[in-house]
Amino acid sequence: MKEKGSNFLLENLSIEEKIGQMLMFAFHGTEYNEQLDYQLKKLHVGGIIHFSRNISDDIELVKKLNEDIQRGSKYPVFIGVDQEGGMVTRIANITPFPGAMTLSATQSDITDICYYEANDLKRLGFNMNFAPVADVNNNPLNPVISSRSYSDDPKIVAKYVIEAYKGFEKAGVLATLKHFPGHGDVSVDSHLSMPYVSKDINELEKVELFPFKEAIKSGVNGIMAAHILYKSFDEKYPATLSKKIIKGYLREKLGYDGLVITDSLTMGAIQANFSTAEIIENCVNAGVDIMMFCGKADLDGQIEVYNTFLDLVKSGKIKEETIDEAVGRIIKLKGKYVNGKYVTTDSNALKEKAKELFEKSPTIVKNSMDISISENEKVLIIFPKVRLLTLVDNETSEYKTLGTYLNGADEIIIDEDFENFEFLVQKVNKYDKIIMATLNVKANDYQVKVFSCLSNVVEKTIVVSLRSPYDAMFLKGVKNYICLYEITKWSLESLAICLKNGRFLGKLPIKLEE
């Protein structure tokens, strides 16, 4: 811990400083600025989260920003980021990090790649990563988790979650498993509204809760709570605000004494149902240690949060001893994670290691022909126009198409406005093979209509799901099916390589109904 943090003891903190330690805020800009300075000096904020908008292309500037944040604070700061890998990658210019389902499709031990990624984060001054995802994706219609999960099998999820945690831990980065008690079996995005789960506790313990329970046994120190109503636990409050779930179940029944942080409390599931005062009062009294507020990240709103928290303490609705329990945990874990050294690594060698994993992930699910592409074959790619898929994806991402990497192939880009079906029916007959890439197919969407145009050439059509492995469920009569699990350049490049050499090593991490 830095020297000026040597007086970072519970008895030395004022009540204003204590409540600041329990807050984590987002910010605007890529440099240390007035907003950050106010957060740290006036609001005594103990945690800062970065988004893609805060990450300079020059990563040395990211390192300087985090050093300035630590320098600007009286006490050590948790500096966190969502670096899950795959589609949720805030920092692009470090070791490429495959997403969860990409990794599980390789059937590899992922401890090392998670260590390398965390070591890169540590070098840049990050000490907290909002990963790994411990959700079991057991609902094909889940709009927000999907391939961010390792599998629909709780034992497989637990295996990879523990390996990821151990990799992060080795590098001195606090892993925060999410989204407790499990975000996998929902069909509503909590960024927009409140999902709920009606399963009984026995069912939850066998599936959703299993990876968390196993990780707690392994010594994990960070868990993120979900904005989901688990009716068998608490019919009124979602997990983030539920004393029955956080204190009663997670802390008392499971014996977890690590850090509990919320998902962003500006998300629709919370903001549409509770006032700021209700959010803070219930979170703190439930046993939450750090409340995260992202959203618009405007300073006036952040000041309101801080003042509301302070008023609740002064009015007696939140007791200081409750705050002391949380801040005690924060102080202890900051002592472990905020400082610490990183290891200098060979970035080119790490890129090669990551590339090997990516190339092991493309998965043949079914095929009625030789799927490989030879140089003399005429190939048509039908590729969906890519937009922001979920609110957790990177707004700044520039997506490539498969045609970028599969030289010599023709390519058509389609979207919901595509209507030239007769032209397509005629055109596909001129090709030896057609590759139709799909992206989060829904019943009767434009991709279903386009696929129906390929009925006469379905035997020579290869469907490639770009994110959700469940796409084929909506496409009747698919004969050849390959799964990717993310639309990153590394994944698309790996697919092109596999199509050319015919070597597909990935194993499907979920069960797919015919």
How far from 99 is each of 33, 148, 183, 379, 460, CA to CA, in Å? 32, 6, 17, 28, 30
Give the HSE-up count for residue 340: Cα atoms under 13 Å, Cβ half-sphere.
25
Q: What is the residue type of 75?
A: Y
Checking 334-337 for CB contacts under 8 A at 24+ apart, the result is 334/1, 334/5, 334/8, 334/46, 334/75, 334/76, 334/78, 335/1, 335/8, 336/172, 336/174, 336/221, 337/78, 337/127, 337/128, 337/172, 337/173, 337/174
- Contact yes or no for 377/432 (Cβ under 8 A): yes
CB 233 within 8 A of CB 244: yes
Report the residue count for the chain. Answer: 514
Catalytic residue check, 189: no
- How many whole angstroms separate alpha carbon 417 and alpha carbon 233? 45
Q: Are 130 and 176 in contact (CB under 8 A)?
A: yes
Could you say which of 153, 185, 263, 471 is catalytic?
263
Spatial separation of the C-alpha atoms in residues 209 and 214, rounded to whole Å = 9
Radius of gyration of the chain (CA): 24
Contact between 463 and 434 under an 8 Å Cβ cutoff? The reply is no
Q: Kindly report whether the peptide bond that precedes residue 132 is cis, defined as omega within 30 degrees of 0.
A: yes
Containing 49, the helix (H) or strand (E) segment is strand 47-50
Distance, C-alpha 421 to centroid of its chain: 37
Q: In which element (H, E) is residue 413 found?
A: strand 410-414
Catalytic residues: 263
